[in-house]
Amino acid sequence: MSSAEILQLVITGLTVGSIYALVGLGFNLIFNATDVINFAQGEFVVLGGILTAVAVGTTGLPLWLAIAVAIALVAALGALIDFAAISRVRRGSVMTLAMITLGLAVIVKTSLLLWVGPDPLYFDPFTPGPPLRIFGAVLQLQAIWVIGIGVLVMVALKFFFSHSRVGREMLACAIDREAAQLMGINVGATVRLSFILSGALGALAGVLITPLTNATYDQGFTLALKGFAACALGGFGRASSAILGGFALGLIEAASVAVLPSGLKDSVALSVLILALMIRPSGLLGGREERRHTQAM
Amino acid sequence: MRQIHVLMVLILAWLLAPLMIHTGGTFNLFIFAFINLILVLGLSLLFGYAGQISLGQAGFYGIGAYMAAIFTVRSGLPPLVGLVAAIIVPAALGYVIGRPVLRLRGYYLAMVTAALGLILHTVFVEWVDMTGGYSGITGIPALTIGPLSARSPVTMYYLSGAIGFIVMLLALRLVDTAYGRAMRTMRESEMAARSCGIPTARLKAEVFALSAGLSGLAGALYAQYVGFVSPESFTIDTSINLLLALAVGGVGSLWGAAFGAFLLTFMPEWFHQLQNAYGLVLGALVVVMLTLEPRGFWGILLRLRDALAGRRAKTA
Amino acid sequence: MGGLPRWSAGWFAVGMMVNLGFAHAQEPIKLGVSEPLSGPASSLGIPVVESIKSAAEFINGNGGIDGRPIELVIRDDQSRADVAVQNFRRLAEEGVYGVIGPNQGSNALAVAPVLLETKVPMCGFQNTISITKLGNPYIFRCQTSDTDNTRAALKFASEKLGAKNVAVLYTGDAYGTEAFAALEVEAREMNIPIVAAEKINYGASDTTAEWTKVLGAQPEAIVLWGSGSTMSVALRNGSQLGNTAPIIGAQGVAAAAIIKSAGAAAEGIYMVTLNAPDQVTPEQQELSRIYKERNGEDYTLTIYDIIGWDAVHIYAEAIRQAAGEKEKVTEGLEKIQGLKLAGGSYTYTPESHEGLGADSVWIVQVKDGAMVGVQRGF
């Protein structure tokens, strides 16, 4: 393989990896706060892309405004999900909650199909212009945005968790919810915030990637799985593990296209998930997966 | 035992129903209801007694169907061989994957099975030499005994119903054996189970293998009846629908599972006018039901029973 | 015999026969339809069923088939092959004279064995080459065959566009892979080298890897063969990677939804299709009038309007040829010679169930987002 092809691979890998990392982060937030796997995480991404595309296409809003509106709407949806369903389930386990998110994912997906149809939607890249050529590889301008904004957000989140009071409270809930409550932390509000953030992160990922690949109503579930794979690969504990996992997953997937037929691309990421959990469940960075002692489920 | 009585009444109804059914379409529905019953029962055993959910049933279902197809159409062996392979191969795969993953606390199995289901779907699509890709495998010879063929709706109604009832009976029995009690202990508290010396990891893997094998059996029945298999019948949506059906019917109970399976089969017929919008009905049903009563319809029945018993106690 | 005059017996007999004939004539002719009304292919199925209904209404309004009205029995196949298989079985049970559909190539291959069981003919909308080569006497094609379509694409590329070589991007389903096999054979015959060929995953959301490989070979024209939303993805990717070579797409690409979704990337591409929306042929006048009345003067006919309309008329003619006998409909279809309908001139023989020939193939180009006819007949 030539160095140009390798470079192209790395670029593609980092670009999709950024998306997987954002989805994985969203997963992590909710998982840490509630022990629930949010099956609707992928739908947040798709919604972000489709809402922006519709806003730009039909109402003619300027792009930055459409993006802001889309992200805000999806964040609000996250809050709504917590308010209407998650926080109301008193009897029942996290399994029940997980299945509720699954039902919600089906609702979102069907609604999108009815609303915008089965065809992919697009909007223009943030900055117009031909792709850059670097040492024989093609670098789309949008890809720079994806990686750039992705990394910025991840750094911002790190600061948020370590330096802000709200962030540290979220971490505390993640470590031990009962202890956090005893310390006076409002767990309910923390959970609500984690859903809002998750929604916003997911929508942001969708907004970043749609100019490159498109937003289609049924992409959600596979994206969710890949986000989960990012978490599994990195390790479920710290947020930074999901980030590393996401980029690693992106690179592995991009590399596989070089050797395998492209139809198998998704399967590679999924196999990574299965292998990661089978062989080294604590992930590459060894997250704190056995954190909670309260319930087995 | 009361449950056996209920079962016997149902079996009687099933035996006599064909006297009143006249269209092939209705038989068709019941056949698929029985196939779905076997699939959802497998899920129910897995959740109710190992506390895990699987989003990959469609994958095992598909393996079963393709085994039945490949062993007969491609290798020319009798349908019975396909049937056996349809059960054993998914079960073995389930055990191999389940063993290491089920060691972990938490519910990673959901994601792993979802991933597995998607991978298997990709295999069905891409391994064209073996599976025919999107064009599938057609002309699967039906199991025939004399004049009775698995392709005929009436015969299949009885065959699938018989197998469905047998699986239900065995599942009900399983719960009462030492094995079943071990599984329930494990579900209540894994630590307690382990301190009793129950090999939890192995047990969980065995239940997973059982549920996978049942899915394979359902797949073989499907292949026999429809005579054609293609990847579109075995997608992640199929797995999701099965799990949601279980959730609505009631995860903790085999009867809930049965109810969920029949609901899953008949609801699309009732709502077929909605076409694409049907997903909203299913999703909304799940969200509303689980938010109000996590134990599903079975839970509602239990609440009714308790309310009635309470009232009776008051008047006594 | 006294009493009634002798000749009255004859009139009485005639009267009786006319009466019996009338009772028979009123009995409706059931025509089955199995199309995707839900699921990913529903954007194809729904307009087709609309035009089928329009055609049936039209024929019934003009006396039906030898006095007998058409009764449509419509079933949704949910874009799935397994549902299509069951539909065909149940339609046969209901006594239909023939089935219109299915829409997708893989569904047609799936239902083929069922036809042998039910002996009810099928009029399908597939371009997929192999469906008429299975040796199945009940499969009839109500579309152009990709054998003609691929040849037209190559001829156009070399003669009109002056391309001395081509590259091919095709989807991995039967539609794409069979077309590619045909392209290879025809390209060799015409001495046009295929410098690159990449298979795209049906339903893929990203084709940049395949495009990169194709563009590396520097082709002078690119043939894109597939259907579904992946086609708009492919068009966009090509444009993103800076492709300047002309693109000739399959009929699966010539869908309004795909053109719209691809945006600027679709501008200027050529496509093989069944009609040019900007030019109404004499046979399309009636259909065009009906649709303009319904949808407004600006309405232009789409492929789906045409194929549904034609399929019903084909069956009407076949049933006439069969003198209204259900068992003879297949034979009746094979007697159709040069039947001029909206899509072109249909001819079936016992040896060939293809229907349309290369003279019905159009190549159109996308100008300002609309399809404009360039050449008909190859």
Q: Tell me, what's the pLDDT at A69?
A: 95
Distance of CA B291 to the CA centre of its chain: 24
Q: Tell me, what's the pLDDT at B1?
A: 53
Q: Do B135 and C110 touch (CB under 8 A)?
A: yes
C-alpha distance from A119 to closest chain C C-alpha (Å): 6
| Chain C contact present for A129, CB below 8 A | no
**At residue A296, does pLDDT exceed 80?**
no
Q: Do C233 and A12 touch (CB under 8 A)?
A: no
Alpha helix stretches (DSSP H) within chain A: 3-34, 41-54, 63-84, 94-116, 141-163, 165-175, 177-182, 187-213, 220-234, 239-259, 265-279
Chains in touch with A (≥3 Cβ pairs < 8 A): B, C
Q: Which of B230, B237, B282 to mutate to test the interface with C (most CBs of C within 10 A)?
A: B230
Question: Cα–Cα distance between C58 and C309 in angstroms, integer?
Answer: 10
| Chain C contact present for B278, CB below 8 A | yes
- Note whether residue C10 is domain-resident: no
- For B251, the 3-state DSSP assignment is coil
Question: Cα–Cα distance between A163 and A181 in angstroms, integer?
Answer: 20
Instruction: Using CB atoms, pick whichever of C76, C90, C110 lies closest to residue B25.
Output: C90
**At residue C22, does pLDDT exceed 50?**
no
Residue of A nearest to C259 (CA): A119
Instruction: Count A/B contacts: CB-CB distance under 8 Å.
Output: 149
Question: Cα–Cα distance between A256 and C92 in angstroms, integer?
Answer: 47
- Note whether residue C92 is domain-resident: yes
Averaged pLDDT for residues C156-163: 94
Averaged pLDDT for residues C162-174: 92
Q: Tell me, what's the pLDDT at B28?
A: 83
Measured CA distances, B112 to A271, A281, C311, C322 (Å): 9, 12, 47, 58
Averaged pLDDT for residues A67-83: 94
Instruction: Using CB atoms, pick whichever of B24, B138, B276 lies closest to residue C38.
Output: B276
> Band of the pLDDT at A291, cuts 50, 70, 90?
very low
ipTM of the complex: 0.87
Please write the tens of the pLDDT for every residue from A214-265: 888 988 998 999 998 898 888 776 777 889 899 999 999 988 887 887 778 8
Residues in C closer than 8 angstroms to A262, CB to CB, are 199-201, 204, 207, 209-210
Average pLDDT, chain B: 87
> Band of the pLDDT at C5, cuts 50, 70, 90?
low
Q: Are residues C32 and C134 in the same domain?
A: yes
Q: Tell me, what's the pLDDT at B316?
A: 52
Q: Are C130 and B156 in contact (CB under 8 A)?
A: no
Q: Are residues C191 and C233 in the same domain?
A: yes
**At residue C194, does pLDDT exceed 60?**
yes
Q: Are residues C218 and C313 in the same domain?
A: no
Which CATH number characterizes residue C238's domain?
Answer: 3.40.50.2300
Q: Tell me, what's the pLDDT at C183?
A: 96
Averaged pLDDT for residues A141-156: 91
Instruction: Using CB atoms, pick whichever of A89, A102, A109 lies closest to residue B244.
Output: A102
**At residue C192, does pLDDT exceed 60?**
yes
Distance of CA A18 to the CA centre of its chain: 9
Q: Are residues C43 and C131 in the same domain?
A: yes
Q: Do A106 and B244 touch (CB under 8 A)?
A: yes
Q: Do C85 and B233 touch (CB under 8 A)?
A: no
Average pLDDT, chain C: 88
> Band of the pLDDT at C104, cuts 50, 70, 90?
confident
Q: Do C172 and A263 touch (CB under 8 A)?
A: yes
- Longest CA span, chain C: 100
> Band of the pLDDT at C6, cuts 50, 70, 90?
low
Please write the tens of the pLDDT for every residue from B135-187: 788 878 888 777 788 778 888 899 999 999 999 999 888 877 887 787 777 77
Question: Cα–Cα distance between A15 and A148 in angstroms, integer?
Answer: 9
Cis peptide leading into residue C102 (ω within 30°): yes
Q: Are residues C258 and C288 in the same domain?
A: no
Averaged pLDDT for residues A266-281: 84
Q: Are C124 and C65 in contact (CB under 8 A)?
A: no
Nearest to B80 by CA among B72, B89, B91, B88: B72
Left (φ > 0), alpha (ψ -120 to 50) or beta: where does B146 sit? Answer: left
Q: Quote the tokens at residue A249.
A: 């997953």
- For A171, the 3-state DSSP assignment is helix
Residue, of A41 and A172, whose pLDDT is higher: A41
> Band of the pLDDT at A112, cuts 50, 70, 90?
very high
Q: Do A277 and B279 touch (CB under 8 A)?
A: no
**At residue A295, does pLDDT exceed 60?**
no
Q: Quote the tokens at residue C246.
A: 């002309």
The gap between the terminal CA atoms of chain C, to the nearest Å, is 73
Averaged pLDDT for residues C90-98: 91
- Note whether residue B44 is domain-resident: yes
> Band of the pLDDT at A91, cuts 50, 70, 90?
low
Q: Residue C125 is part of which domain span?
A: 24-144+282-347
Q: Quote the tokens at residue A42.
A: 């992928």
- Note whether residue C352 is domain-resident: no
Averaged pLDDT for residues A7-35: 89
- Note whether residue B85 is domain-resident: yes
Instruction: Using CB atoms, pick whichever of C40, C204, C236 lies closest to residue A262.
Output: C204
Q: Quote the tokens at residue B177.
A: 């054996």
| Chain C contact present for A18, CB below 8 A | no
- For B229, the 3-state DSSP assignment is strand
Q: Are residues C204 and C257 in the same domain?
A: yes
Q: Tell me, what's the pLDDT at A41?
A: 94
Q: Do C212 and A138 touch (CB under 8 A)?
A: yes
Domain count, chain B: 1
Return the sign of the alpha-carbon dihedral for residues A88, A94, A96, A99: positive
Lowest mean pLDDT across B33-42, B293-302, C11-20, C52-61 = C11-20
Which one-letter DSSP state was computed for residue A215? B
Lowest mean pLDDT across A165-169, A200-204, B58-62, C324-328 = A165-169
Q: Do A216 and C229 touch (CB under 8 A)?
A: yes
Please report, rounded to a whole number, the percentage of residues in chain C having pLDDT higher than 90.
60
Averaged pLDDT for residues B4-13: 87
- Note whether residue C13 is domain-resident: no
CA angle B54, B59, B65 (to 5 degrees): 135
Q: Are residues C104 and C205 in the same domain?
A: no
Q: Are residues C63 and C206 in the same domain?
A: no
Q: Do C106 and B233 touch (CB under 8 A)?
A: no
**At residue C25, does pLDDT exceed 60?**
no
Measured CA distances, B311 to B299, B305, B306, B307, C150 (Å): 18, 10, 8, 6, 77
> Band of the pLDDT at B285, cuts 50, 70, 90?
very high
Instruction: Using CB atoms, pick whichever of C93, C113, C202 lies closest to residue B134.
Output: C202
Lowest mean pLDDT across B75-79, B254-258, C262-266 = B75-79
Q: Tell me, what's the pLDDT at B313?
A: 67
Question: Cα–Cα distance between A79 and A74 in angstroms, integer?
Answer: 9
- Note whether residue B132 is domain-resident: yes
Question: Cα–Cα distance between B153 and A192 in angstroms, integer?
Answer: 52
Reduced 3-state DSSP string for chain C: CCCCCHHHHHHHHHHHHHHHHHHHHHCCEEEEEEECCCCCCHHHHHHHHHHHHHHHHHHHHCCCECCECEEEEEEECCCCHHHHHHHHHHHHHCCCCCEECCCCHHHHHHHHHHHHHHCCCEEECCCCHHHHHCCCCCEEECECCHHHHHHHHHHHHHHHCCCCCEEEEEECCHHHHHHHHHHHHHHHHHCCCEEEEEEECCCCCCCHHHHHHHHHCCCCCEEEECCCCHHHHHHHHHHHCCCCCCEEECHHHCCHHHHHHHHHHHCCCEEEECCCCCCCCHHHHHHHHHHHHHHCCCCCCCHHHHHHHHHHHHHHHHHHHCCCCHHHHHHHHHCCCCEEECCEEEECCCCCCCECCHHHCEEEEEECCEEEEEEECC
Q: Tell me, what's the pLDDT at A92?
A: 64
Q: Tell me, what's the pLDDT at A297?
A: 21
Residue type, B127: W
- Note whether residue B249 is domain-resident: no
Please write the tens of the pLDDT for every residue from A115-134: 998 888 888 888 888 888 88
Measured CA distances, C338 to A161, B281, B312, C314, C349 (Å): 76, 49, 81, 11, 11
Averaged pLDDT for residues C204-219: 85
- Note whether residue C357 is domain-resident: no
Chains in touch with C (≥3 Cβ pairs < 8 A): A, B
Q: Which of B107, B195, B235, B248 to mutate to test the interface with A (most CBs of A within 10 A)?
A: B107
Residue type, C103: N
Domain count, chain C: 2
Q: Are C320 and C66 in contact (CB under 8 A)?
A: yes
- Note whether residue B295 is domain-resident: no
Nearest to C197 by CA among C181, C189, B208, B291: C181
| Chain A contact present for C369, CB below 8 A | no
Residues in C closer than 8 angstroms to B121, CB to CB, are none
**At residue C86, does pLDDT exceed 90?**
no
- Note whether residue C329 is domain-resident: yes
Please report, rounded to a whole number, the percentage of residues in chain A having pLDDT higher than 70.
93
Q: Are residues C188 and C104 in the same domain?
A: no
- Note whether residue B240 is domain-resident: no
Q: Are B208 and B98 in contact (CB under 8 A)?
A: yes
Lowest mean pLDDT across C147-151, C201-205, C269-273 = C201-205
Q: Tell me, what's the pLDDT at C2?
A: 46
Q: Are C30 and C94 in contact (CB under 8 A)?
A: yes
Nearest to C146 by CA among C361, C370, C366, C376: C361
- Note whether residue B275 is domain-resident: no
**At residue B103, does pLDDT exceed 50?**
yes
Q: Are residues C268 and C366 in the same domain?
A: yes
Q: Are residues C123 and C162 in the same domain?
A: no
Question: Cα–Cα distance between B11 and B27 in angstroms, integer?
Answer: 16
Nearest 5°: phi and psi at A127?
A: -120, 130
**At residue B268, does pLDDT exceed 90?**
no
Placement of tokens 């001395």 in the chain: C164
Q: Do B272 and C93 touch (CB under 8 A)?
A: no
Q: Residue B169 is part of which domain span?
A: 2-234
